[in-house]
């Protein structure tokens, strides 16, 4: 075993990235297929879910991209 330091990964986008691009990225990552894949490459992916987005927003106090807002509204 090798012990390492791990930190959360944040997806950050500029305001001018089209809404559709951000929506599609999130839809891919948070789809059943996307989460299943992530679970094969890293054991911390078990924590990956839509609710974690809201938790990070509260902790970081950053605005959501319109594509993320659309994704969250359609996937509640």
Output the DSSP codes for 5-68.
----------TTS-HHHHHHHHHHHTSHHHHHHHHHH-GGGGG-SHHHHHHHHHHHT-PPPHHH
Six token digits for residue 10 = 């944040």
> For residue 20, what pLDDT is reported?
97
pLDDT digits (tens, 9 = 90+) for 2-32: 877 666 677 889 999 999 999 999 999 998 8
Q: What is the rounded average pLDDT of the residues 46-75?
A: 84
**Torsion sign (Cα): 73, 30, 62, 44:** positive
Mean pLDDT confidence for 40-68: 82
Count other Cβ atoms within 10 Å, centred on residue 76: 6
The whole-number pLDDT of residue 26 equals 94
Convert the pLDDT of each residue in 45-54 to its tens digit: 887 888 877 7
Q: What is the pTM of this model?
A: 0.77
């Amino acid at each position: 075993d090798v012990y390492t330091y791990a930190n959360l990964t944040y997806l950050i986008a500029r305001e001018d990235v089209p809404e559709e691009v951000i929506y599609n990225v999130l839809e891919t990552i948070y789809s059943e297929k996307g989460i299943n894949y992530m679970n094969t490459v890293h054991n911390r992916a078990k924590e990956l879910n839509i609710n974690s987005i809201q938790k990070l927003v509260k902790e970081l106090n950053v605005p959501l991209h319109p594509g993320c807002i659309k994704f969250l509204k359609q996937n509640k």
